[in-house]
Every structure is written in C-alpha cells, then in structure tokens.
Chain A
C-alpha cells in the first residue's frame, strides 16, 4: 500500500485521459507531460495507460508499506527516499516503511511517479484521471491510501529523451482562425519570446500577447494544445483539462511533444513558437 503523508502543492492521479466523453462536455484530462509519464511507466514495465501520480511544483510525501519498484520522470525535483537523494528515469526499489519525499522543483514543473504493476484507483468514465465533479476529489489528499495491484509487467517501450521537455521552442501549426491575425502579429509570433504568467491543468496564460481585437467565432470545438486569442490580444494555450469548446479564435495548435514541453514551464519561463506545416 501507498499512504499519502503530505499532499504537497498539487498532486493528482493521471492516465491517458477520458476519451469519447467530450460529447457530454467532459475534458480529456490525463498526464500534462505524456512524454515523462510514458517514460516513468515504461521504465518500470507498465503500459503507458497505467495511472501515475502527477506532482506539480513542490511537496508530497509517500509512505510505502511494502516492497515495490518505482520510477520518477519529468521535472527535476529535490527528491529523497528516506534520507537519500534519488534520480529520475531509473528503476528504484523501495522497501517496506520507506518514505519518498518530494521537495521543490529545481528544473521544470511536473514530475511523475510510476509504480511497477500499478496501484488501485477508481475508474470513472473509463479513466482514473482526477477532475473536479467527475472524480470524488480533484487532488490527492493527506491520508489517502492506494493498494498496489502487482499487475504482470508487459514489455513496453515508449522511452523518449528526458531532456526534450526542457526545450523552450514550442512547435505549432496554423489554427483554423490563423488568417485573422495581421502580418505584424505574425512577425511577433515568429520572433518574440512569450512569458508564462500563470498556469494550471486547464491552460497556460502569457504576459505578453498580440494586438487587441474584436474577433469572435461561433462556439467551436477545441482540443488540448489549441492556442486561443482573446480580445485583449493575450493568448491562452489550452491544456489537458481544458474545456471541449470555445468562442475565441483558434490561431495555433501545438503538437503532442510541445504540450509536454509547455507543461514543464512555470510562471516567468519564456518560450518561443516555431511554425511548422502538418504533413
């Protein structure tokens, strides 16, 4: 069993998300940085849909009441198993009574904890991903307990370069309303750095933006990775918990890897967009 001794700043359980429920207004959810959760699951021999703990910014203390293999991947945190520092992207065997303690994020923003063989978490609308009003709680709480499942490991190899997520170039393709923006703003998009002003699992917001506008569109579908332009000229990058439809112009669309890269950014971090063509 795993017991939560300290719930940190923001810890949730995530898998690949809730497919096929957007028709009821339900967001996709799932790991913000799927590259890192895939790494953590793959390294301990899980399938990539196995739920993991997503730990954001700082904190979190996990007590293990039995021996099991684990892996952490994603942001670089100060992490200690009892009193010893541990590193990302390697199998670590924890023993009965061990305490895994997450400190601050040193580089990046979100780290994933995968448990070999998985742990029990309720499946609601075909996913374990936490989301307010879908799952009983929107975050993992102190005192929560999770039984280990000990599923037979399956060969799974979705390992990517763990440095990729620390890039600051976000690859985007043109969104359906890209043509609304003028040439000066396109120049800004191509050349300027944009600074993250705030973020949560629904979206990333930026301090600087494009020119103010009065564009609006009939409420239309969006997906994680869609970048909307608000009337003030500021952009919102929709992330995994983002709503399924919206009325702001969809000017850009991030690709999968870029969603992972942006997920590792925090307030004050700077990114640049690189326009690519879809093939």
Chain B
C-alpha cells in the first residue's frame, strides 16, 4: 500500500494528474517510480510524465473512461509495493570550475557571500538525487543543494548557456545538456555528454533515481576527458550508494 495521501485531477481529455504531498523528497520520487513501474505495461497508458511530487498520465480514452481509469489507479496505489529494481549508484560527473567556464561565479559569489573556493567545496561535496528529467532532452532535476548555495534564479535569463554548463538556481543544481537559454548561474562545465539521441533504449547517461556527485577537475584533466569522450572511450566512475 502507498504511504501517502494522493489525489487525482482530470487534466485533459485523456490525461489524469496524480498529486503526492507537494514537497521535494527522494522518498516521494521513489514511490512515484514504484507506481510508474506498477502501471508501466498497462495497455491503456500512452505516456506518463513525472514531476517531483506528481505524475501526469495519458491514457487511451477510447478504451477506458476517466472515472474507471481513476478507480483503476486507486486500486494500484492501494496495492503498491515498494519496487527496487536496482540499487542506486553515485555517478561522478567531472566538473571544471576554472574561470574559463564559470562565467557567473563572480556575481554568484557576491550574492551568496562565499568565496569561489568555498562555493566549489560546498557544491562538490554533496551528493544529489536525480529526481527526474525535464526542461531539455537530458536535463537532470537534481535535489539536495546546500542551503548556503540557494538564491533565486536570475531575473533576466541568459540567451545562450553553453552545452555542459553546470549551474545553480533556486534550490536546484543542474547541467545544460545542449546550448540553450537559461536563468541559472553558471559555475562550471563538464566535458561529458549527458544525452545521445541515437541510443534508443537509454538516451540519457545516468538513469533517474540515482545519485550524482560533482568531482572538480583541472583544465588539463577537462581536456583529457573531452578527448576520451570524443573517442567514445570515457567510462563513468560510479560507486554503490550506501544510506
């Protein structure tokens, strides 16, 4: 049986929104994942989209009515077991915090009243839970940013943030998987690729519900890793997650 009080909202002609308590917690994300796995093979489901604490499910409204589908989901939730398919890992993501890549660090450093070294230490010492993907193909929503590093995102977004940029905004940190506009403060860059559209089964490098840790690298190491990535020789460093 599910642990929380969930509610349902008729979102569109053929979609239903399932809301968990509105807070960002790995336990809630993990239960949403279990719920997704329980319904994954249902023939009436077209697609689902995950939020931190909600799930939007598109169903085949020609086969099943909204009300019947809602009752079906309640049943699934009432009989939900925690499903842990794989033990989560901690994936190390190399980040170069050199001035060359940290275009916003001076401004950010003033705003959080911390030195650059202190920012790097705080940012790279935590492990972050990968709640879900969203925003852009391969963009990770990472939870667990140190409260000292949390400030509101920029009021005027940058028109172009470079691929690989490691940035902080609000209570979150993340990596831009491709060039894009963005409103977060850029403090570094990773040489690794996070999204590969040619990989049909697993286009993202890191599966969700895992943990991410940022490992500071020098500009020389950055270049070496970039070369390895180019030659498809780069191997992720990951270790088992222990609570």
Contact = CB atoms under 8 A, between A and B. Distances in A.
Interface stretch (B8-16, B115-123, B221-229, B230-238): B8-16
Nearest to B9: A176
Given A20-B47, A23-B208, A221-B17, A245 B12 contact: no
B197 A125 contact: yes
B52 A278 contact: no
Contact of A223 (B10, B49, B133, B178): B49
Contacts of A131: 137
A21 B203 contact: yes
A135 B197 CA distance: 8
Which among B22, B133, B134, B208 has the greatest number of chain A C-beta atoms within 10 A? Answer: B134
A149 interface: no
A255 B133 contact: no
A175 B23 CA distance: 20
B55 interface: yes
Nearest to B46: A19
B127 interface: no
Nearest to A278: B10
A132 interface: yes
A88 interface: no
B51 interface: yes
A25 to B, nearest CB: 4
Interface string A160-197: 00000000000001011000000000000000000000
B137 A219 contact: no
Contact of B55 (A219, A221, A253): A221
B137 A133 contact: yes
B66 interface: yes
Interface string A217-237: 111111101000000000000
B197 A23 contact: no
A24 B195 contact: yes
B197 to A, nearest CB: 5
B163 to A, nearest CB: 9
A27 B133 CA distance: 11
Contacts of A22: 47-49
A219 B138 contact: no
B114 to A, nearest CB: 25
A278 B50 contact: no
A215 to B, nearest CB: 13
Looking at chain A's contact residues, is the secondary structure mostly helix, strand, loop, or mixed?
Answer: loop
A124 interface: yes
Q: Interface residues of B toward A: which range?
A: 35 or more
Interface of A: 19-27, 124-126, 131-135, 173, 175-176, 217-223, 225, 243-245, 253, 255-256, 278
B128 interface: no
B53 interface: yes
A278 B66 contact: yes
29 contacts: A21-B203, A22-B48, A23-B208, A24-B133, A24-B137, A24-B203, A25-B133, A25-B139, A26-B137, A125-B200, A132-B178, A135-B197, A173-B12, A175-B11, A176-B19, A218-B22, A218-B23, A219-B51, A221-B17, A221-B49, A221-B51, A221-B56, A221-B134, A223-B56, A225-B12, A244-B49, A245-B135, A245-B141, A255-B13
B178 A243 contact: no
B55 to A, nearest CB: 7
B197 A245 contact: no
B89 to A, nearest CB: 18
A173 B11 CA distance: 8
Given A133-B178, A176-B17, A25 B47 contact: no
